[in-house]
Amino acid sequence: MESVLKINSAKHTYPALVGSGLLEQVGERTHKYLPRETCAIISDTNVALLFGDRINRSLESANFQPTLITIPAGEKSKTLEQARAICEQMIAAGLDRQSFVIGLGGGMIGDISGFVAAIYHRGIPHVQIPTTLLAMVDSSIGGKTGVNTADGKNLIGAFHHPSLVIDDVEVLKTLPPREFNQGFAEIIKHAVIADAEMFKELKVARASWPAAAGETHALQSLIKRNVEIKSKIVAKDERDETGERAILNFGHTIGHAIERAGDYRKFLHGEAISLGIVAACAVSIKKADLPPDQRDAIVDLLERFNLPTQLPKNFSREKIIETLKFDKKFEGGNVRFVVTPRIGSARLTTDVTMQNIREAIDEL
């Protein structure tokens, strides 16, 4: 039985469908919300091989005219140059302002396809079809789109909410364990900042989780719960202006810097966020009175999902520090950092110094 969640924000409302076997119904479901004719499916070389033909057939059966555009897999493709190349292919295919974009893939694809949708003809609709656990519970919700530069992640982007999100839990069975597990970094983050009960349940449930994503019913319930958590936070602060949405950045300030310092190759996004969460906990002990035993519980849960909690000894801590100055969450030279005083709660503070951050990174 699928779930249909209504995602609300100040100016936008869109459905997120969570269930099994939804890929075969993409054409029918999309036509219900976007009765248009032409669309671009933006995917990467890995995902397109697995699901591209299936999505094409489903769209064509619903009388759409899709154009499949593939880009190389990996964070290295999330660039302004790649976005331009996609737009040029869309122009060549005759797509216009009555067309729409489908992002078929993980978080990288969701980010760049959403960015393309935001700028093509000054904005056309976007459909998110995430194919990783991490993208389902996090990046596909909330309307943040963007590309990276040499200096940092998502420094060029736009707010552009999707018109529809389709989460088919069956696709998660294709993920290698490492790719599957990285999604739990964002799930654990949600538990730490907003849902102490889910944190307890994850501790109990981990022993019974399959090595891969086999338990579709349990996964469907977990994804639904996390989509609800994120959407409620986003609804309070759609454009990340008041600080309420900023709590979603718990672990991300240092996590993004670790990703960049590793040239987007050493760690998957969720793995870097896991390390960022550990560092944020160290800062939280000093600046938010997080009890050390709760910090230990968070680290233990990350490790249960085979996520890293320590940096390799030869990984440059100094490179992480150098990368931090380009972080969007540092405004006017001030450090804006998310801390947790206890599991289930988080807040934004300007009371954290670069020295605090440096010490936390040194401890990793």
Backbone φ, ψ for residue 94 (5° rounding): 85, 20
The active-site residue out of 75, 179, 186, 238 is 186
The active-site residue out of 126, 249, 260, 295 is 249
266 is catalytic: no
The active-site residue out of 6, 241, 313, 314 is 241
The active-site residue out of 29, 190, 269, 295 is 269
Within 13 Å and on the Cβ side, how many CA atoms surround 290? Answer: 30
What Rg, from alpha-carbon coordinates, does the chain have? 20
Is the separation of the CB atoms in 102 and 42 below 8 Å?
yes
The active-site residue out of 29, 78, 144, 189 is 144
259 is catalytic: no
256 is catalytic: yes
336 is catalytic: no
144 is catalytic: yes
The active-site residue out of 160, 190, 224, 252 is 252
DSSP 3-state assignment of 82?
helix
Of 80, 89, 81, 75, whose CA–CA distance to 44 is shortest? 75
The helix (H) or strand (E) run that includes residue 316 is none
Alpha carbon distances (Å) from 44 to 188, 318, 358: 27, 33, 36
269 is catalytic: yes
Cα(16)–Cα(223) distance, integer angstroms = 11
DSSP 3-state assignment of 334?
strand
The active-site residue out of 126, 189, 256, 295 is 256
The active-site residue out of 6, 81, 122, 313 is 122
* Most distant pair of Cα atoms in the chain: their distance: 59
Cα(86)–Cα(80) distance, integer angstroms = 10
Residue 249 in tokens: 């950045």
The active-site residue out of 245, 260, 295, 336 is 245
241 is catalytic: yes
The active-site residue out of 29, 161, 224, 230 is 230
2 is catalytic: no
Backbone φ, ψ for residue 342 (5° rounding): -165, 160
Active site residue ranges: 122, 144, 186, 230, 241, 245, 249, 252, 256, 269
